[in-house]
């Protein structure tokens, strides 16, 4: 036999999916929101994004080369996704060195020590964001006001949630349409709701994620807000406005679509995903309404991340032949 036969057990063909392709799809899905941020906040957004991605990739490459001493893993693009998400969780006018610190925390503390992609219990971008929020509260909450005339870092404004926390929000006059399009203060990735939903649609069409986590988060936030509003608002007829406000403000959409659905740190089964989503929605609202912080999405995701192993252990998919 001149040619050797190659032997391996079935299946003998492989589908089109690869880790790199999935990560690439997430990046593509984030681009519209990034574009809106550039339009709203100016070119500074790109500087933050570039530093964040660059640092994440660099740190992963260095750690992999000198500490882990394994095969380079940056080609799977997961560091790029982490960098991009981290950037989108920061104000547009944040000092760039803080961005670099964030990248170090995300890759060097939250991801690589656990063994790299696939083994980290917490979402690296969120760990970094929460660290920065606690370490540099001033810089992390000084949001540039939306501007269409280039990069503005001179004055900062309060996010709608901070205003609501301070009791300064008039729910009769919320600008839902403006919020939907991205006309509000906040971390630059979270403002462009419409663009984020566009990304969500793309991820669904490409079957990168399923609807379970985002939709259960949205539903929980809306129901929670509506129930709370109905009982405690002075103006009960504004319940729908109140719910809409909580859905559109802060990081709910960004968090639900892109952060909570991170493969590694979310449950494996659809039932588990719903439990996880409901948990995130409820914790977010509890923090928003009764906690010290105006926004609780990051904390909620981290808390639910810690429950994921438990969910995976006890929530099993329906076996074929078992009762429906």
Binding mask 191-230 for other proteins (x = CB under 8 A): -------------------x--------------------
Which distant-in-sequence residues (6+ apart) come within 8 Å of 312 by Cβ? Answer: 267, 268, 269, 272
- Which of the ranges 71-79, 122-130, 152-160, 163-171 carries the binding residues for other proteins, by CB under 8 A? 71-79
- Which of the ranges 48-56, 142-150, 230-238, 309-317 carries the binding residues for other proteins, by CB under 8 A? 309-317
| Residue 69 in contact with other proteins, rule: CB under 8 A | no
| Residue 318 in contact with other proteins, rule: CB under 8 A | yes
**Number of chain residues interacting with other proteins (CB under 8 A):** 42
Q: What phi and psi, each to the nearest 5 degrees, are found at residue 157?
A: -130, 165
Per-residue HEC secondary structure of 130-154 comes to HHHHHHCHHHHHCEECCCCCCCCCC
- Which of the ranges 19-27, 102-110, 196-204, 276-284 carries the binding residues for other proteins, by CB under 8 A? 19-27
Nearest alpha-carbon partner for 186 in 241, 132, 254, 243: 254
| Residue 290 in contact with other proteins, rule: CB under 8 A | no
| Residue 22 in contact with other proteins, rule: CB under 8 A | yes
Identify the sign of the CA torsion 261, 262, 266, 270.
Answer: positive
The distance of Cα 288 from the centroid of its chain, to the nearest Å, equals: 17
The encoded tokens of residue 90 equal 């920061």
| Residue 320 in contact with other proteins, rule: CB under 8 A | yes
Q: What phi and psi, each to the nearest 5 degrees, are found at residue 126?
A: -75, -40
Binding site for other proteins (CB under 8 A): 1, 3-15, 17-19, 21-22, 73, 76, 78, 115-119, 210, 263-264, 266-269, 312, 316-322
């Amino acid at each position: 036999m001149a040619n050797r036969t190659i032997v391996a057990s079935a299946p003998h063909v492989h589908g089109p999916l690869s880790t790199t392709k999935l990560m690439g799809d997430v990046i593509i899905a984030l681009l519209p929101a990034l574009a809106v941020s550039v339009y709203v906040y100016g070119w500074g957004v790109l500087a933050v994004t570039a530093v964040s991605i660059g640092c994440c990739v660099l740190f992963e490459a260095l750690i992999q080369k000198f500490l882990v001493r394994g095969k380079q893993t940056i080609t799977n693009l997961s560091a790029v996704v982490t960098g991009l998400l981290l950037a989108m969780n920061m104000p547009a006018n944040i000092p760039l060195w803080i961005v670099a610190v964030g990248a170090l925390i995300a890759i060097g503390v939250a991801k690589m020590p656990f063994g790299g992609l696939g083994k980290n219990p917490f979402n690296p971008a969120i760990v970094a964001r929460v660290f920065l929020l606690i370490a540099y509260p001033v810089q992390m909450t000084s949001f540039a006001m939306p501007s269409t005339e280039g990069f503005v870092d001179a004055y900062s404004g309060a996010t709608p949630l901070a205003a609501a926390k301070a009791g300064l929000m008039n729910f009769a006059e919320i600008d839902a349409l403006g919020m939907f399009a991205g006309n509000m203060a906040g971390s630059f990735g979270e403002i462009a709701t419409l663009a984020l939903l566009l990304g969500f649609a793309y991820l669904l069409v490409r079957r990168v994620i399923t609807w379970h986590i985002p939709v259960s988060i949205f539903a929980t936030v809306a129901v929670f807000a509506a129930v709370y509003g109905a009982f405690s608002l002075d103006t009960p007829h504004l319940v729908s406005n109140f719910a809409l406000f909580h859905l559109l403000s802060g990081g709910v959409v960004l968090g639900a679509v892109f952060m909570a659905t991170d493969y590694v740190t979310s449950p494996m089964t659809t039932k588990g995903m719903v439990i996880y989503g409901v948990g995130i929605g409820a914790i977010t609202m509890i923090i928003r309404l009764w906690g010290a912080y105006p926004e609780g999405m990051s904390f909620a995701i981290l808390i639910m991340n810690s429950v994921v192993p438990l969910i995976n252990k006890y929530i099993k998919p329906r076996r074929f032949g078992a009762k429906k």
